[in-house]
Amino acid sequence: MTLERQERRLGWGLVAPALVWTGAFFALPFLAMVALSFAHMEGRTVVRGFDAGNYVRAFTDWTMVKALVNSLEITLIVTAVSVLLAYPLAAIIAFRVPARWQRLALLMAVLPFWTSYVVRSYAWLLVLGQKGVVNTTLLALGLIAEPLQMASTRFATVTGFVHFFVMLLTLTIYANLIQLSPNYLRAAADLGAGRWQVFRHVVLPLTLPGVVTGAFLTFVLCIGDYITPQILGGNTELTLPQLIMLQMGRSGNFPLASALSVVLMGIVTLAYLASARWVRLDRV
Amino acid sequence: MTAGVLVRGVSQRYGQAMALDDVSLEIAAGEYVVLLGPSGCGKTTLLNLIGGFAEPAAGAVLIGGRDMAGVAPKDRPTTTVFQDYALFPHMTLAENVGFGLRMRGAGKAERAARADEMLALVGLAGRGDRRPHELSGGQRQRVALARALAVSPDVLLLDEPLGALDLKLRRAMQDELKAIQRKVGTTFVHVTHDQEEAMAIADRIVVMQAGRIADMGPPREVYLRPKSLFSAGFMGEVNRIEVAGGRSALGPMAVADGVLCIRPEAISAGGALRLGRCVVRDMAFFGAYLRAHVVPEAAPGMVLVVHLPQGAEVAAGDVLDLGADAHVVL
Amino acid sequence: MRALSWLYMAVAYLFIFLPVAVLVAFSFQAGRLPVPPFQGFSLRWYEKVLGDRDLMAALGHSFLVAVVSSALALCLGFLAAHALARVRLPGSVLMRGLLIAPMTVSYLIIALGLLTVFGSLGIRLSLWTVGAGHVVINLPLCFAICYAAMGDQQRSAERAARDLGAAEWQVLAYVSAPMLAAPLAAAFFLSVTFSWDEFIIAFLLTRFDVTLPVEIWSMLRSGLSPATNAVGSLVFLVSVTLVVALEMLVFRRAK
């Protein structure tokens, strides 16, 4: 046996466990789900077959289309708002805060990240609810006469999401900003660029890949999330994950739930293709 | 375009350490000055003060007679070639070189023409649409130079510009830097820790040590008549012999009191200042000369370094009667 | 400009801390509702929560699932990264892609897929099935972190070890793993927090023994209660203590 073959055998031996695991518990279930999405229900039993009916329903049934549109709208708003809010914060921490305080500032900026995900949405309910902190404060200040309806609205869902993703994006954008060699900034300033020009011509283009990667992650996590819209948005307007859970739970319609999941997957894939030029998943 | 630089009583501290301690320096317009010294001597700090990347705690920097206090780097008539070149990786070479003009609102055609011209000046004609990562270290260095010169600065600051290059390339680039400086006439202020590089290109060398100027002058003067022990040692190898009351370990010495400094190549059989009989301990062939360690018979604890002519027939154990042709007492 | 920056930062921090502050503040509520007015300071909800058997059991389950699944994910990810970073294997780009792929798939979809397969194979849902799902979501993370950390320096040190007669397991145990101690620890703790906090897979793949997020979820369904605040605050306290401890450890090492 040559050395190279020996090495390869060893290599295969080391990758195999991870590949088998991912294959058995990820790829295979995924394919099974895709197969299931082409089945249909007769009463409460699943009938296997090749039937595109679920997909037709996903794109024609008004409830489904509405959920799809809601999900897309919410996700796009959340992604845009989060990036726009997080970039300045990350930049202030990276460029304004003295170096020795930066770690602390960053740690503080993401501290609520470490509360339980479910609890974080719940906490926003306490802030935005009828009798919540915001309404109580505004009423006490006499700025409003009636409590504002914020919980169980899209506003609450977006707020809960933005809160989470601002923290995530601040972290990733900061990591990108701090990697910029300070000499790039000095060189640009030295050649006559003002603050805005340095940002526009040097900082932004150089951090764009990181920002797009972060935005893509935000998109993926946001569009697939069930908890935040369920707790904060309630059932006033359904998102795709809520609809999927509903199909599984109440009606036990696994084929339709699977088809909707495949649609969700398709959207994520499209988002990936749209941003693929910049996204480096192996650099996350 | 070119202008002189006047540094007047400048001090700067980083925490406890004194990075610059009351430094004054006058650089003439069109001069090529090299700031030379070991790391931490304050040479880069001084360059940053001229470029405007830091403000002095005390003292003033004048460029072309104008006080630079409170003037941002972008408004100073200086540009910098950074040690890591800091070429913008997302721009082509032409865009890099044209960046300064773009910031000044120049049009596309003007920028392209200037970029072509500058790239040609540094020997990269026709490569404008490449990107920095496609270049070798030496080529990046040239682009950084072209970019800094494209805005016609009065003063060009170079922060160890050749530090990242291998020795052979460095020697080649030295000559080129000098030639380009002659051609454009801009004042060059160049920081390095390599004394050979300094001698190869400088009109004037400023030797710095611990935040102060230890010596300055044309290469020949700094090398042959250093004004401090530090600068004598930093510019090249030197033999030191202490002299007190006309006496030294080698016997009576007809020189002033202090440390007698003699370069290895200044020692020969016929030298005027006699050092006495010395035993050759070992020797090695260095191409242009033979480098030998010799031990004076009068002072067995002392070892002198001597450069002997290439063709000298000497072996370990031989006894030579040596003298110095040139010396300095510090 | 400078003042504007600080103002922006202050508002951002206010936004970021607002829900957590409200959560913690009203966990000490003496009244029955975790909203204003604050009716006095009380620890009764902490007492209630700490005495709640189901909740404590869920806490134990979460801990167990998090540690075991993270350890497994780290082992698999580390070995795979080691192999792919070192040995030239045909199709290695494809393999890297497959190993990273779960990162881009919503947890909901992963859970649904597993549910389908477990259902048709007749596998009973338990903490084991949740653990299997958590390994799937953490494996890409561990793999990516380890793979990114394996640089040239690592490679030459491993080569030197082999040159000095180390067998492959010895290379891994005495050279590779210790050199990567910091990223390995980071990957492990990140995995633990993800698993600890994961809801949807745990929700869909458990039946009787549930994890903490699922238990909290069922508390939520019975309406607002300061007890939920108390659980949330406790979880927060534990996580923050862990993070700060880790930060100080890493920070010290960096120094």
Full-prediction pTM beyond 0.90? no
Q: Residue ranges per domain, chain C? A: 1-42, 57-254
Residues of C in contact with A132 (CB under 8 A): 35-36
Query: Out of A270-274, B145-149, B215-219, C86-90, which region has the weakest mean confidence (pLDDT)?
Result: C86-90
Report in angstroms the alpha-carbon separations of A124 from A139, C16, C224: 18, 11, 12
Per-residue pLDDT, A279:
66
* pLDDT-based confidence at residue A283 (cuts at 50, 70, 90): very low
Residues of A in contact with C195 (CB under 8 A): none
**CB spacing of A190 vs B74 below 8 angstroms:** yes
Q: Which residues contact B262 (CB under 8 A, 6 or more apart)?
A: B238, B239, B241, B273, B304, B324, B326, B327
Q: Are strands B78-81 and B155-159 parallel, antiparallel or unpaired?
A: parallel
Q: In residues, how long is chain A?
A: 284
Which chains touch A (3+ CB pairs under 8 A)? B, C
What are phi and psi for residue B320, nearest 5 degrees? -120, 145
In A183-202, the residues whose Cβ lies within 8 Å of chain C are 195
- Bridge partners, B260 (sequence order): B241, B329
CB atoms within 10 A of CB A233: 25
Mean pLDDT of B43-71: 92
**CB spacing of A192 vs B80 below 8 angstroms:** no
Residues of C in contact with A122 (CB under 8 A): 23, 216, 220, 228, 232
Report the distance separating Cα B141 and Cα B87, nearest Å.
9
DSSP track, B209-224: ETTEEEEEE-HHHHHH
Nearest to A184 among B74, B88, B102 (CB): B88
**CB spacing of A206 vs B147 below 8 angstroms:** no
Nearest to A22 among C136, C216, C244 (CB): C136
Residue with more model confidence, C239 or B77: B77
Tokens for C164?
């000095």
Per-residue pLDDT, A281:
52
Per-residue pLDDT, C250:
65
3-state secondary structure (DSSP) of residue C46? helix
CB atoms within 10 A of CB C88: 10
Residues of B in contact with A186 (CB under 8 A): 53, 73, 80, 82, 86
Starting at the earlier edge strand, list the strands of the sheet with B319-324: B267-268, B319-324, B273-285, B289-296, B304-309
- Bridge partners, A45 (sequence order): A42
Q: What is the pLDDT of residues C77-112, one digit of tens each?
A: 999 998 888 777 788 888 988 998 888 888 999 999
CB atoms within 10 A of CB B21: 15
- Bridge partners, B159 (sequence order): B191
The answer to whether the beta carbons of residues C36 and A140 sit under 8 Å apart is: no
Per-residue pLDDT, C251:
60
Q: What is the pLDDT of residues C21-65, one digit of tens each?
A: 999 988 888 778 887 777 778 888 888 888 888 889 999 999 999
Q: What is the pLDDT of residues B25-37, one digit of tens each?
A: 999 999 999 999 9
Question: Any chain C CB within 8 A of the CB of A243?
Answer: no
Per-residue pLDDT, B188:
96
| A17-28 as b/e: b if 16+ CB within 10 A | bbbebbeebbbe
Per-residue pLDDT, C252:
60
Per-residue pLDDT, B45:
92
* pLDDT-based confidence at residue C185 (cuts at 50, 70, 90): confident
C57-254: CATH class:
mainly alpha
Mean pLDDT of A158-177: 93
Q: How many CA atoms lie within 13 A of B90 on its CB side?
A: 13
**CB spacing of A194 vs B147 below 8 angstroms:** no
Q: Which residues contact C230 (CB under 8 A, 6 or more apart)?
A: C27, C45, C46, C48, C49
In A252-271, the residues whose Cβ lies within 8 Å of chain B are none
Question: Any chain B CB within 8 A of the CB of A201?
Answer: yes
Phi-psi region of B244 (alpha: psi -120 to 50; beta: other; left: phi over 0): beta
* pLDDT-based confidence at residue C17 (cuts at 50, 70, 90): very high
Which of A3, A7, A15, A172 is most worth mutating to test chain C (most C CB atoms within 10 A of its CB)? Answer: A15
**CB spacing of A186 vs B73 below 8 angstroms:** yes
Q: Which domains does chain A have, with CATH numbers?
A: 62-283 (1.10.3720.10)
pLDDT at B224 over 50: yes
Per-residue pLDDT, A70:
94
Whose CA is closest to A257, among A41, A7, A109? A41
In A54-73, the residues whose Cβ lies within 8 Å of chain C are none
Per-residue pLDDT, A241:
94
Report the distance separating Cα B25 and Cα B293, nearest Å.
39
Residue with tokens 């009716």: C39
Searching chain A, which residue's CA lies closest to the CA of residue B104? Answer: A192
Q: Which helix (H) or strand (E) holds B10?
A: strand B5-14
Spell out the SS3 assignment of chain A.
Answer: CCHHHHHHHHHHHHHHHHHHHHHHHHHHHHHHHHHHCCCEEECCEEECCCCCHHHHHHHHCHHHHHHHHHHHHHHHHHHHHHHHHHHHHHHHHHHCCCHHHHHHHHHHHCHHHHCCHHHHHHHHHHHHCCCCHHHHHHHHCCCCCCCCCCCCCHHHHHHHHHHHHHHHHHHHHHHHHHHCCHHHHHHHHHCCCCHHHHHHHHHHHHHHHHHHHHHHHHHHHHHCCCHHHHHHHCCCCCCHHHHHHHHHHCCCCHHHHHHHHHHHHHHHHHHHHHHCCCCCHHHC
3-state secondary structure (DSSP) of residue C21? helix
pLDDT at C254 over 60: no
| C8-47 as b/e: b if 16+ CB within 10 A | bbeebeebbebbbebbbbbbbbeeebbbbeeeeeeeebbe
Please give the ipTM for the structure prediction: 0.87
Mean pLDDT of A151-173: 92
Q: Which residues contact C197 (CB under 8 A, 6 or more apart)?
A: A116, A117, C213
pLDDT at A284 over 60: no
The answer to whether the beta carbons of residues B289 and B308 sit under 8 Å apart is: yes
pLDDT at C253 over 70: no
**Residue B82 burial by Cβ neighbours in a 10 Å radius (0-12, 13-18, 19+):** buried
Percent of chain B with pLDDT over 70: 100
Report the distance separating Cα B268 and Cα B139, nearest Å.
44
Report the distance separating Cα A60 and Cα A50, nearest Å.
19
Q: What is the pLDDT of residues A3-38, one digit of tens each?
A: 677 778 888 888 999 999 999 999 999 999 999 999
Starting at the earlier edge strand, list the strands of the sheet with B212-217: B78-81, B155-159, B187-192, B32-36, B204-209, B212-217
Tokens for C37?
């007015």
CA distance A187 to chain C (A): 22
Percent of chain C with pLDDT over 90: 34
Helix axes C107-121, A240-249, angle to 10 degrees: 20
3-state secondary structure (DSSP) of residue B290? strand
Per-residue pLDDT, A167:
93
Mean pLDDT of C174-185: 86
Nearest to A14 among C80, C110, C220 (CB): C80
Tokens for A234?
């309630």
In A125-144, the residues whose Cβ lies within 8 Å of chain C are 125-127, 129, 131-133, 136
Mean pLDDT rounded to a whole number for chain A:
88
CA angle, B242 as apex, B239 and B244 as ends, to 5°?
A: 155
Percent of chain A with pLDDT over 90: 48
pLDDT at A250 over 80: no
Report the distance separating Cα A167 and Cα A113, nearest Å.
7
pLDDT at A269 over 50: yes
